[in-house]
């Protein structure tokens, strides 16, 4: 069950015509990770698994993202800036 105050972040998996799929997905991960850092999440990140599937986590553990996205705690991300 998802926390009541949650936000879904989904990465685009369909590369534009002429763009190599791995390069496209790596770009999506890099851009999403830049966004997460701005939101205060620096200890976990999006990355590609060996099968080009998106994953989210850190060296302590990760989850595969078969649906290309992950739920985040909106209470944490929406906290007041200091």
* Consecutive 10-residue averages of pLDDT for the chain (82 residues): 84 95 97 95 94 94 96 91 76
Answer yes or no: are the C-beta atoms of 22 and 52 closer than 8 Å: yes
What's the number of domains the chain is made of? 1
Specify if 62 maps to a domain: yes
Residue of 77, 79, 74, 82 whose CA lies nearest to 3: 74
Copy the structure tokens of residue 57. 């986590």
Specify if 13 maps to a domain: yes
pLDDT at residue number 4: 84
The alpha-helical segments, DSSP class H, found in the chain are: 21-38, 74-77
Residue of 69, 22, 70 whose CA lies nearest to 48: 22
What DSSP designation does 70 have? E
Specify if 82 maps to a domain: no
Where in the sequence is the domain holding 27, given as residue range(s)? 6-77
Answer yes or no: are the C-beta atoms of 27 and 10 closer than 8 Å: no
Specify if 37 maps to a domain: yes
Specify if 1 maps to a domain: no
């Amino acid at each position: 069950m998802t926390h009541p105050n949650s936000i879904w972040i989904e990465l685009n998996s369909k590369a534009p015509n002429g763009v190599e799929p791995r390069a496209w997905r790596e770009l999506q991960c890099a851009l999403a990770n830049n966004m997460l850092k701005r939101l205060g999440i620096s200890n976990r990140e999006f990355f590609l698994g060996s099968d080009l599937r998106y994953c989210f986590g850190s060296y302590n553990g990760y989850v595969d993202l078969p649906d290309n996205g992950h739920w985040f705690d909106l209470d944490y991300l929406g906290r007041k800036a200091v």
